[in-house]
Structure formats: C-alpha cells, structure tokens
Amino acid sequence: MTHYFFDTENGDMIVDREGVDLASFQAARMEAVLLMGDLIRDREGEIWATGCLRLVVRDEDRRPLFAIETRIQADPRGLSALRR
C-alpha cells in the first residue's frame, strides 16, 4: 500500500492533511477521477466563480504525481443569446 494525498486548488489551496492508503498507482488515478467528479458536483458554484478547479495527487513524500484540472470558459456569443 502507498499513501497518497489529494490537494485541491480553486483560488485557494486546500491541503489534504490525512491522505489515503491505496493499493496501486492505478487505484490512485481512479480515486482522483472519482473525487474530481464529486468536487465538480459539490462545488459547482465555486467553479463558476473562479473558472477552474485543480486536483493535485501527491505521493507519501508529498511529491506531485499528476493533476486533473477543469476550466470553465464561457463563450460571450452563447451567453448573450441566453440573455435575450
């Protein structure tokens, strides 16, 4: 088992102080995808306010392994059509 940390950035950095033990790197990848889905659903308003959300996965020594990022880029043409 390896210990992984899942830090989030959405304007401010939220550091995962506990982390989780997972069986493999592939398990950490799957956990990150599932967690990102939950974060998008649960923090939808914050993501619209800041325009992005980033999840950084770190190993037991807190070295970054990979990140998943989502961005909102509204097209002004589409938004103006909605306002009519």
Instruction: Say whether pLDDT at 1 is over 80.
Output: yes
pLDDT digits (tens, 9 = 90+) for 32-74: 999 999 999 998 888 888 889 999 999 999 999 999 999 887 7
Q: Give the structural domain span for 11.
A: 2-83
Residue 12 pLDDT grade (very low, low, confident, very high; cuts 50, 70, 90) = confident
Return d(Cα 24, Cα 76) in angstroms, integer.
43
- Structural domains in the chain (count): 1
Q: What is the predicted pLDDT for the residue at 50? A: 86
Asked whether the whole model's pTM tops 0.75, one would answer yes
Phi, psi of 47 (to 5 degrees): -65, -40
Instruction: Say whether pLDDT at 77 is over 80.
Output: no
